[in-house]
């Protein structure tokens, strides 16, 4: 059954996008072997056919190859889509797939924008996120640099990723922030404490990445799952066999509700997120058409007030085992 896609607005004055976007990182980077380029181009175009209008990438994914993939796939459909990309990492000048720190100097922001425009084969970046807050550069300078790019017509909207309330307010005072992208799902609910109330107050949209807990909430991963050496989940505390086993209780909750709703655990997890606020736009990623279709089916899942209460209350009593990130990555979030 084909799902009729719904539209949501990111931020008070931000772009209108499909209620579910597509996170594209895993097609090129981080989740095991990259997808076959021809297949990924086909998948991206099929997503547009199915009503997806919001695509998420970054220069650091690869680096560069994910933006190039989107550029090639979406150039013929450019007027139909909203493309988000990111700046803020310092890449190894010797090349190779690694970043060596943060860099949000205004000069660097401009360099990234110019390079991303070329790779994306476009004359404007719809949504330009600071990928991680750079503690060495005042947020006012970062917002000012993006403001200049907007006034030149090279960027349409400004976003932040994994930023603290303080950073969000500092940036928003200089340039309206249209979207904040941070991890949020039934197994990472920290944004509910301070972040969601702040973005609601300021009229900023919220884009949850890893809305399916990096695949865990689909019910397809358990303690016997092994991860490819170039799958970054192999290094996450939450994906050790012990943690995966302990955390299955959350998946069992989703499975029970999925049976009642004639849907899947992934669809329940996404429908729960969509039901939290009308300005939340999750961006699940995939390399497979059947997973894309499954995820998009979440838009049609109707969760009643009782369903939502049951999911929220029961899941909040489950103590999730294992840290979200290793220490070196966790240090870069919430600044």
Q: Which helix (H) or strand (E) holds 110?
A: helix 106-119
Separation between Cα atoms, residue 23 and residue 14, nearest integer Å = 19
- CA-based radius of gyration for the chain: 19
Instruction: Give the integer Cα–Cα distance in Å for 206 and 190.
Output: 13
Helix (H, G, I), strand (E, B) or coil at 122: coil
Cβ pair 28, 34 in contact under 8 A: yes
Q: Look up residue 304 and give its two tokens.
A: 């009643």
Identify the sign of the CA torsion 97, 102, 103, 109. Answer: positive
Q: Which residues, 6 or more positions from 11, have their beta carbon under 8 angstroms from its beta carbon? A: 157, 176, 177, 178, 179, 203, 204, 205, 279
Tokens 């497979």 -> residue:
288
The Cα 30–Cα 28 span in angstroms is 7
Active centre residues (catalytic): 61
């Amino acid at each position: 059954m084909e799902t009729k896609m719904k539209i949501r607005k990111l931020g008070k004055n931000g772009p209108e996008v499909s209620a579910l976007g597509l996170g594209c990182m895993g097609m090129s980077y981080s989740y095991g072997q990259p997808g076959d380029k021809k297949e990924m181009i086909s998948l991206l175009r099929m997503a547009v056919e199915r009503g997806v209008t919001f695509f998420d990438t970054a220069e650091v994914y690869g680096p560069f190859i994910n933006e190039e993939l989107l550029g090639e796939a979406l150039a013929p459909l450019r007027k139909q889509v909203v493309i988000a990309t990111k700046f803020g990492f310092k890449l190894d000048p010797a090349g190779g797939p690694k970043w060596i720190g943060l860099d949000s100097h205004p000069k660097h922001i401009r360099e990234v924008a110019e390079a991303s425009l070329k790779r994306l084969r476009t004359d404007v970046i719809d949504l330009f996120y600071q990928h991680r807050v750079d503690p060495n550069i005042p947020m006012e300078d970062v917002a000012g640099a993006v403001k200049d790019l907007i006034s030149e017509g090279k960027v349409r909207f400004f976003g932040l990723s994994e930023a603290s309330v303080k950073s969000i307010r500092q940036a928003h005072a200089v340039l309206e922030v249209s979207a904040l992208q941070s991890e949020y799902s039934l197994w990472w609910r920290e944004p509910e404490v301070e972040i969601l109330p702040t973005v609601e107050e300021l009229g900023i949209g919220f884009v949850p990445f890893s809305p399916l807990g990096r695949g865990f909430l689909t019910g397809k991963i358990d303690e016997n799952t092994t991860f490819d050496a170039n799958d970054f989940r192999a290094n996450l505390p939450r994906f050790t066999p012990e943690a995966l086993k302990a955390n299955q209780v959350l998946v069992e909750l989703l499975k029970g509700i999925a049976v009642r709703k004639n849907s899947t655990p992934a669809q329940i997890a996404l429908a729960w997120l969509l039901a939290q606020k009308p300005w939340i736009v999750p961006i699940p990623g995939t390399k497979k058409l059947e997973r894309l279709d499954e995820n998009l089916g979440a838009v049609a899942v109707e969760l009643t007030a009782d369903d939502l209460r049951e999911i929220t209350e029961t899941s909040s009593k489950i103590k999730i085992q294992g840290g979200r990130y290793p220490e070196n990555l966790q240090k870069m979030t919430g600044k």
